[in-house]
Amino acid sequence: MQASIAIKNARLYQDLNRKILELNTLHDIGKSMSLVLDLEKLLEMIIEMTSRVMGGVRSSSLILFDEETGKLQVKVYKGVQRNTPIEAISVGEGIAGKVFERGEPLMINNFGVEGAGTESDNDTPRSSLCVPLKVKEKPIGVLSVSDKITGENFDENDLSMLVTLASQIAITLNNAQLYEDLEASYLSSVRALANSLDAKDAYTRGHSERVALYSMEIGKRMNLVPEMLKTLHIGALLHDIGKIGISEAILQKTSRLTDEEYQLIKTHPVRGAAIIEPAKFLKEKVPLIKYHHERFDGNGYPEGLKGEVIPLMARIVCVADSYDAMTSKRAYRDTMEKESAAQELLKCSGTQFDPKIVAAFLGVLSDEAKMKEIERYRYS
């Protein structure tokens, strides 16, 4: 009798430990996913973590509904190599289509019962778990896993784990999509702001967009990480935002500026930083805007910073901005030929400009296809 109770208690203890481990894993996963808002990275993370939660599976798939096509698209697949390509799935078709349509999870062990193929077919699993992804009861896709590596069948514990994980995934995916939509709207607003600034002067139309694109290409050649490239792009679009507070009569003046007018123009980086700084989501762009007129030799403005003390992104925009200014027509001078502008960059490398950034930009200039793409933003 006592032996029987001891065995029962041991099993309960094992079950409890397993449940604690599962809950800890789910907590860690939920926390990790909530920190990632890049949709592409998030999709990859979801598949990795799904496999981890299930203790190792032969394959796993994240399948999302595409509103435009009305079909389910396999966004990420991880597992054994397939003999057939993964195609779009119609709602109600196959296991994933049925689970999406019904909004209910499905667990199948021993596929022979379903007549879905034989074990010799590499694409046909023996066991499968498929659960819907829902946001406010609306299905947005399905999460599917097949065949435990151990060879065991799936059980109710596995199903419960996957359902819990799916609920976390659905919320995180929805948040990431909302964030992506918000970012797109934000970028559109930034572009509108930059375009309104460029429109103040017929000679500078498209300037901010070109500087942003040149800067991005330099950043890519310098292997900046995606988050830095994003900051660089937005900051470059807004680099001249401080000119909003400067009279159009001065900005468009065809004759030589007076010393007083030139000093006023030189305040635009500080003015721009002051405009942007109160917006918390733009704060990381402030150094780029404030210091894009600093020189590598320390003779720039507003603070006379020198060398690598100048923020990297500000140094990048300095080169891109200068090149675009040289190759654009101004009220007081004609356009400089691209070859001459490139020579000027080389001539000022080490004095006005960071030599490493000049070298990277010369590589951009040699890419004819990329330059042609950017030149679309040059208006006559």
Per-residue pLDDT, 256 = 85
Residues 107 and 220 in one domain: no
Residue at 91 is within a domain? yes
Residues 205 and 347 in one domain: yes
Residues 132 and 203 in one domain: no
Q: Which two tokens stand for residue 306?
A: 């020198």
pTM above 0.75, yes or no: no
Runs of H (alpha helix) within the chain:
2-34, 39-53, 94-102, 156-198, 207-221, 226-237, 248-251, 259-265, 268-276, 286-291, 312-326, 338-347, 355-365, 368-375
Give 90's contacts (C-beta < 8 A, 6+ positions apart).
71, 72, 97
pLDDT band at 375 (very low <50, low <70, confident <90, very high): confident
State the DSSP string of 279-295: SGGGGGGHHHHHHTT--
Is residue 236 within 8 Å of 288, Cβ to Cβ?
A: yes
Give the bridge partners for 78, in sequence order. 60
Residue at 361 is within a domain? yes
pLDDT of 294 > 70? The answer is yes
Residue at 23 is within a domain? yes
Residues 163 and 240 in one domain: no
CATH (domain of 94): 3.30.450.40
Residues 168 and 248 in one domain: no
Residues 226 and 358 in one domain: yes
Residues 297 and 158 in one domain: no
Per-residue pLDDT, 280 = 73
Neighbours of 159 (CB within 10 A): 16
pLDDT tens digits for range 252-274: 787 888 999 999 999 999 999 99
Residues 93 and 220 in one domain: no
Domain count, the chain: 2
CATH (domain of 212): 1.10.3210.10
Residue 337 belongs to domain spanning: 199-375
Residues 164 and 210 in one domain: no
pLDDT band at 170 (very low <50, low <70, confident <90, very high): confident
Percent over 70 (pLDDT), the chain: 79
Q: Is 75 a catalytic residue?
A: no
Residues 149 and 209 in one domain: no
- DSSP H/E element including 131: strand 128-135
Tell the burial category of 284 from Cβ atoms under 10 Å away from its Cβ (0-12, 13-18, 19+).
Answer: middle
Runs of H (alpha helix) within 199-247:
207-221, 226-237
Q: 178, 211, 246 — which closes off a domain?
A: 178
Per-residue pLDDT, 35 = 53
pLDDT of 347 > 70? The answer is yes
User: Which one from 75, 134, 148, 243 is the annotated catalytic residue?
Assistant: 243
